Amino acid sequence: MRARRIRGALRLEIVLKCRSREEAERVRASLVSEGFKCLPNSSRVLVIYRSYEVKKFLERHALYLSSEVERLYTSKYSISLPIKPAAATRYRMLVESLVHVGFKEVSGRYLQIRLTYSSPERAREAAEALESLGLKPSMEGKRVVLVYRLCDVNFLADNVIDVPEGLRPLLRRESLFGKWIDEHRVSKEPEFWRLVGLVLGDNDGERALNTFCNTNDVLVEYFVDVASRLFGESFVKLSKKRDKRQSRKELRVARILGTAGRILAEYASRAHDLVDDVDEDCFWQLVTGLYESDGSITVRYPSRDYAVPYPDISIRLAAHQSKLAEAISGRLTREGIAASFKIRSSVAELG
């Protein structure tokens, strides 16, 4: 064991001296297979230098430490991480190999959490585990996972990390953007895609993608009911809008707020890329929502000689939604349904 100070910080290292270069190569290969990273100091000397790996090596092999090294070891590793007791088993992938938890106050209003792991591989695994839970972390360096969205920070504060008392007001739990929603679960619900279809079918490029506006009371009430069940009533706001044009019915506007509105708008904006990935139930709910917003059925006759009527179903979308129309047309065709789309004046028509 040796202790070094690098830029004022104490670093304990384990030095392994081998009898030959061949033995050093075998020892290094064995350590790498156990998850340790060591550097060759010479042809026969290996050094384990990462703090977490030094601690893990000593715990695993129970080496004898001199009183001076033991004092330094205790002072360096006696700091406990602010982890909730239940997180060690329920969120093992997030807690395992975690070596430091950092808190940063941003603009005096927001809290960010930095999770530092023992290796880049462990950091990537933790980031993937967070994404599977519906969070959106970012990598800050090779070993640091940054959690910055208010709802994601609140999720960690509720389930994994003990946030210091002085920083808890920054969690802003009263904000609808601070409330966490299981995005992964919600996005698998067929009714969620019905809402996406209603929003996109109603959208003309001027309204936000978290808003549904229609004169049909039944349709608006259905939208509100489904959104309330998926996200909670506090996220749904219903209002009225008077159309200034003569003889126009009053519009009812349903707006999804906070984290729920962000999720709905994000999936609606990427719907043309997701059409091929969603399961069958979700796809048909999306198509149903689009049809309910601006669809129609026309009875057509093939020719004068063959006067057997058939229904022609069409859905009108705004011209800027041509990619969505093309994606849905393509999937309908693959499902065995003859479909096409065409641009007509200011609309993209799917039929």
Per-residue pLDDT tens over the stretch 300-309: 556 666 666 6
Pairing assessment for the beta strands 251-256 and 295-300 based on DSSP bridges: unpaired
pLDDT of amino acid 302: 64
DSSP string, 305-328: SS---EEEEEEEEEGGGHHHHHHH
pLDDT at 320: 79
Describe the crossing of helices 190-202 and 217-231 by its angle, rounded to 10 degrees.
Answer: 140
Mean pLDDT of 26-55: 84
CA distance 280 to 78: 53
What is the distance between the alpha carbons of residues 216 and 252, in angstroms, rounded to a whole number?
8
* Segments in 18-66 forming alpha helices (H): 21-33, 51-61
Domains and CATH numbers, the chain: 2-77 (no CATH), 87-171 (3.30.1360), 183-350 (3.10.28)
Residues 222-242 have a mean pLDDT of 91
Tell me: pLDDT of 184 over 70. yes
pLDDT higher for 79 or 18?
A: 18
Tokens of 250: 């009053």
The answer, yes or no, to whether residue 297 has pLDDT greater than 70, is: no
Q: If we measure between CA atoms, which residue out of 189, 196, 210 comes closest to residue 258?
A: 210
Type of residue found at 126: A
CA 127 to CA 141: how far, in whole Å? 12
